[in-house]
Amino acid sequence: MPKKLVIKVTAGPEAAERCSQAFTVAAVGAASGVEVSLWLTGESSWFALPGRAAEFELPHAAPLPDLLDSILAGGRITLCTQCAARRDITEKDVLEGVRIAGAQVFVQEAMADGTQALVY
């Protein structure tokens, strides 16, 4: 079983179930002791900003702010550099603990030994 999990979420509220699944899998992984790296890309980029996760609603799903807190407590969250730039999001705008990095870092993480990469 891989000891590291890299998850890229490309969806936001427009594909709520897919978005929620990515955050849920990341939070469960982190809570299970797996090293988790969640990448926010596309419309999920907005969840790197304070208060945005609280606006997300999906019946029968864990609240996104709780999932984010779990991931940050036991893993890492990265906002895609290009996605941030297209939305005028900078390092000073994001939640504490969220970093901004590019494709080179994603590929490096995804290709590391013992890593499973998932894209939602």
Contact (Cβ atoms closer than 8 angstroms) between residue 88 and residue 49 = no
Q: What is the mean pLDDT of the chain?
A: 96
For the chain, the straight-line distance linking the first and the last C-alpha, in angstroms and rounded, comes to 20
pLDDT at 1: 56
pLDDT bin (cut points 50, 70, 90) of residue 118 is: very high
| Overall pTM > 0.85 | yes
Average pLDDT over residues 82-97: 98
Q: What is the mean pLDDT of residues 9-33?
A: 97
pLDDT of residue 39: 98
Residue 35's region, left for phi above 0, alpha for psi from -120 to 50, else beta, is beta
Kindly indicate the confidence band of residue 2, based on its pLDDT and cuts at 50, 70 and 90: low
Phi, psi of 39 (to 5 degrees): -105, 125
Q: What is the mean pLDDT of residues 50-59?
A: 97
CA 35 – CA 61 distance, rounded (Å): 23
